[in-house]
Structure 1
């Protein structure tokens, strides 16, 4: 700590940082502490909440879910180089999710850094790149609060994303001046001339289609989207790998989901004479192939706040702008249309029970049992088509998943979402393979007594790998089967009640019990090993 008289208006780096965090509304800190973080944690303020995660990937996943659900930057505190390494997968996912995070990382004392000390991070600011929007290890201790303020502003600029500040452990006691929070606009207005061009093309089109992605829900622009679509009488498809709800899935204009394959996208968009991509890349693919709409002359327009997504599009006209500004502005430019609205999507028929249980039956039963206001957090990639058919999301802010494809996100994210929505039931639908990446997050749900229902979709293996093996013509690949996992015992070891479910009767009883529970409860639901085709056309 500093000695001698303190200059008027000067405080320690630690005091300046906490004052800044209060102003920015970052008084909930997600962390996993180590020795290099202890000076920051010393004399923890009573008005701050520290959420301990038992592994750094869990810490970042919880913070990501919390940030996306609140619409505010969340604060993470990780431990040195190894802690960032543990968290790297979910930092990558946060970047793809456009989750606003301010991540601070402990660093060894400055005096030790030239000698490659134990727990020292070499080039700490470069370690997480390119999957943070901005990172720094300030050259002077006095600059730490300003660096955190800078990181917050960049995290909250569209597109949102994580930032990182590496802080040597002896910086916290150095004297500096307070750094007040600044008001910085975060939205960008679209080019009026390009909006005019889009409106003219859309008015002329006879069979337009909207392909909508997660930016709409992220910005709270769902009602504006529906007002535009209803005015244009345009069908809505969800973009490939959308990590949030893109359209209310019981709306008459909603027509289904595009899969992440070029031929599936081409088939899903066939017959339309204008494609408007809203709040999404154009397009995200997971397998190779040709997408005819890039070359057949179909006009493609894209509205997005993500400059990289606009630059990466293979064809068409991209208009940069925030959804909450672009969608009403486009609506105002459109004349009344005489085109007929598309026929509503035909609901999937109710699935029948069987032994083992079909995943479709599980999701239909879950839809009937879960509260209307519940929030769904999903990480069951091989079962996503079945979930989309039988468990529609019917409210904005009602669905989250990962945009990265990296496993181990959604269970801790569900904890963060539940913390951001006190008293609201959150349902985490997680594959058995995914559960083992971040199962420590159950402990957080128990400690906070969160109303979290965890559904393990247990097909005793990596179902997505089974599906891709079929797509790619691969036979006999090792490392796909997962026998012998006992999720009831794993949950009980962290204090969470759990049941194993194998029959329809047990499923309905288990769901009733789980939704009646005040705190978390896990259901380990054994489903069949049917191999779904992940890249069907939109339906």
Structure 2
């Protein structure tokens, strides 16, 4: 274990910031006392001079200079100079002291109301939620200052410096950020070299890769590289054709299982998402030892909160195509299927209730390749992924934030926005009730989507989480709510499916009409949900 201070000083060294420009106060003593000999303290007698000197240093070197300011008074005194630094396009990393976090709620003496104090002049401002996030925030401030050519501010409560961090966890910020721009040559060369040198690379894709150009580039890259492809956990859209032989499945959302999947790989190329999205929190390292992670995205925020050695800000399609052209083909070893295809699902026995897998299997046999599948069924999402792979770009859409109520109205909007593609929404009954009024609009404006509602009259995920926590859920079932009745009251045609045979008959009748359908339809399908659940 090392302290937050020691880890932050290491970040300063790694970023080449060996001078600390400051006019110190009491909230900075824990950071500055006993400064190591390889770091130079530069004193100025007023904060305007502190920032002015740092600005000149940054202009002369072309690299960010490091500034340490004293809570409200120090930052307030420096605002004019920070404005000058911003207009002069001088990159600065500014750490501002704050009172002890343990009694900030009481507004002790020298507690600063620092948010917004410098106005719009900083290019980025952050107060880390936890002490162990401080080193990563300082590294991100360095990248933000470089990218936006101005001062980036990190507010650090004084007691954070003595807190401990586990170096095995790594920093939630990339070591190196490249900006490929319109000419991805140098970045593509670097990534191609990294992949060519890898003994066992792996590719991870996310929602930011969900377009035809990126799919085409990734397929070319993966087929030359001979690597398995995993979809990010809780991805809102599919970043790769999920019926491709190299598609391995969806990454697990827990650290231990993620490490298990990635163990044995030495390089992970992550495209169109951060590295790595997780839920719920688990202690321990995020990735196995020895894994080099490179992230490619056109979203700078996605890059900056990644646990990565290399991050490249670029158009994923253009960069992946350039990398594919540069890497050495490994196809001589022959094609290997990365993951077994799903086993056939037997229909329910006579008198046995339907399960979600029976519904998904029936849809899988009937839905056209270009269907847009909208998902909001948290308790059965893993089975849906397994049985209903996305086969075309924009073939899978879900809520990126995880809040309920997105799927039903989004399906109507997707059909309205592109009436050339059939749209099917698969929803839990609990999820559907958050956006049920969207059916009125779907009917009113002729959005011919099919809404398949899996009805079990309860919040199954919440029940399972309560079971796992060993507690009794206080919320009741709502199996007295009629989803198809609500749909009909809102002017949307709806049918209650009685059993598996009825489901197959309805789908055989309705699915062929989806491409040209104007009138929406809701199917209320009773299912029994299994108790086990792994996100």
TM-score, scaled to structure 2: 0.62
Kindly provide the CA deviation profile for residues 113-154 of structure 1, in whole angstroms up to 9, marking residues without a partner as x: xxxxxxxxxxxxx9xxxxxxxxxxxxxxxxxxxxxxxxxxxx
C-alpha contact (below 8 Å) 2:379/2:461 kept by paired residues: yes
Determine the structure 2 residue equivalent to 1:343.
337
Determine the structure 1 residue equivalent to 2:365.
368
Q: Taking structure 1 as reference, are residues 344 and 297 closer, same or farther at Cα in structure 2, changes over 3 Å only?
A: closer
Partner of 2:210: helix, strand, or coil? helix
- CA positional deviation for 1:328: 1.1
- State whether structure 2 residue 484 is matched by structure 1 residue 488: yes
Kindly provide the CA deviation profile for residues 214-242 of structure 1, in whole angstroms up to 9, marking residues without a partner as x: 11114741111111111111110001111
Determine the structure 2 residue equivalent to 1:72.
none
Distance (whole Å) between structure 1 residues aligned to residue 287 and residue 263 of structure 2: 12
Partner of 2:379: helix, strand, or coil? helix
Which of these two proteins has the greater Rg computed from alpha carbons?
A: 2
Structure 1 segment 276-425 matched on structure 2, within 5 A: 276-290=269-283, 292=285, 294=287, 296-337=289-330, 338=332, 340-354=334-348, 355-425=352-422
Kindly provide the CA deviation profile for residues 48-68 of structure 1, in whole angstroms up to 9, marking residues without a partner as x: xxxxxxxxxxxxxxxxxxxxx
Partner of 1:524: helix, strand, or coil? strand
C-alpha contact (below 8 Å) 2:184/2:318 kept by paired residues: no
Q: 1:437 aligns with which of 431, 434, 449?
A: 434
Distance (whole Å) between structure 2 residues aligned to residue 480 and residue 270 of structure 1: 42
Determine the structure 2 residue equivalent to 1:203.
196
C-alpha contact (below 8 Å) 2:487/2:522 kept by paired residues: yes
- CA positional deviation for 1:191: 5.8
Q: Taking structure 1 as reference, are residues 480 and 193 closer, same or farther at Cα in structure 2, changes over 3 Å only?
A: farther
- CA positional deviation for 1:451: 2.1
Distance (whole Å) between structure 2 residues aligned to residue 469 and residue 319 of structure 1: 41
Distance (whole Å) between structure 2 residues aligned to residue 369 and residue 336 of structure 1: 37
Number of residue-to-residue matches in the alignment: 352
C-alpha contact (below 8 Å) 1:427/1:453 kept by paired residues: yes
Partner of 2:434: helix, strand, or coil? coil
Determine the structure 2 residue equivalent to 1:217.
210
- CA positional deviation for 1:502: 3.5
- CA positional deviation for 1:188: 4.0
- CA positional deviation for 1:513: 3.4
Partner of 2:462: helix, strand, or coil? helix
CA RMSD of aligned residues (A): 2.4
User: Could you say which structure has the greater relative contact order, defined with CA pairs below 8 angstroms and 6 or more residues apart?
Assistant: 1
Kindly provide the CA deviation profile for residues 378-430 of structure 1, in whole angstroms up to 9, marking residues without a partner as x: 11111111101111221112111111001000111111110111143210111
Determine the structure 2 residue equivalent to 1:264.
257
The farther-off stretch of 330-339 and 503-512 is: 330-339
C-alpha contact (below 8 Å) 1:446/1:520 kept by paired residues: yes
Distance (whole Å) between structure 2 residues aligned to residue 432 and residue 188 of structure 1: 45
Q: 1:451 aligns with which of 431, 448, 451?
A: 448
Gaps of 5+ in 2: 1-115, 117-179
Distance (whole Å) between structure 2 residues aligned to residue 190 and residue 407 of structure 1: 41
Distance (whole Å) between structure 1 residues aligned to residue 341 and residue 476 of structure 2: 33
C-alpha contact (below 8 Å) 1:431/1:457 kept by paired residues: yes
C-alpha contact (below 8 Å) 2:184/2:322 kept by paired residues: no
Distance (whole Å) between structure 2 residues aligned to residue 225 and residue 197 of structure 1: 17
Kindly provide the CA deviation profile for residues 330-388 of structure 1, in whole angstroms up to 9, marking residues without a partner as x: 11221222555433421221222332101111100011122333211111111111101
Gaps of 5+ in 1: 1-125, 127-186
